[in-house]
Chain A
Amino acid sequence: MKIWSSEHVFGHPWDTVIKAAMRKYPNPMNPCVVGVDVLDRNLDNQGRLHSHRLLSTEWGLPTLVKAVLGTNRTLTYIQEHSVVDPVGKKMELCSTNITLTNLVLVNERLVYTPHPDNPEMTVLTHEAVITVKGFSLGSYLESLMANTISSNARKGWAAIEWIIQNSESAVS
């Protein structure tokens, strides 16, 4: 099992970041996400918005990893649950892969909150737990995947910025 976590600060207020996060795909930084669908969406009795989404992704695993995993399939599916609390100003998003689960589990958790010292900024706490199953090369592959996740996370943060920049001129 490999745990990766990082904290990122956006130079934008929480509302702006959340609007962008809900419209994150498509963006040029994450071309591997090729499909997004909302499976279910509802308000709970505390006024928080729950969304269940399905993401279709082309993982872009390195050739060596594909060979070791013994799969040519590159289209994988990820299930995502997010909760947006507009009063408490907190968005939490959890995702997990639902294919290739006999080989690897990638669980990600993202939490967006206003910066405690500056309401014009937003903090993202981003964590991932990676478990590769049944391989003696497990820890090597886990490190490889942690690097991929770290790299993709950075692209995701840049994607949020890109969405914000490209929306600011538009009337929302």
Chain B
Amino acid sequence: MNSVGEACTDMKREYDQCFNRWFAEKFLKGDGSGDPCTDLFKRYQQCVQKAIKEKEIPIEGLEFMGHSKEKSESSS
């Protein structure tokens, strides 16, 4: 699967592999701590943000707050 930014595809795949492993082996089994993918995600996210700006994709209501910060939103 590709990224919206062509330059981001490799980073995306690397992050996805890391995330899918953590999600299946840790998170779903009740261990949501110690996410090992933070650095990968930061690099990937920077690339995607740039691509979104360049392509002028109208993303709403999202602040790129980083991977590990908790959101305080209460609405779905």
Contacts and interface: CB of A to CB of B under 8 A. Distances in A.
Contacts of B76: 83, 92, 94
Given A22-B20, A35-B2, A86 B62 contact: no
A119 interface: no
Given A49-B27, A54-B59, A94-B76, A26 B1 contact: yes
B3 A40 contact: no
Interface in B22-76: 23-25, 27-30, 32, 41, 44-45, 48, 52, 57-60, 62, 64-65, 67-73, 76
Chain A: number of interface residues, binned into ranges: 35 or more
Chain B: number of interface residues, binned into ranges: 35 or more
A54 B20 contact: no
Contact of A54 (B41, B52, B64, B68): B52
Interface of A: 15, 18-19, 22-23, 25-26, 33-45, 47, 49-50, 52, 54, 56, 77, 79, 83-84, 86-87, 92, 94, 98-99, 172
Given A19-B28, A38-B41, A50 B71 contact: yes
Contacts of B29: 86
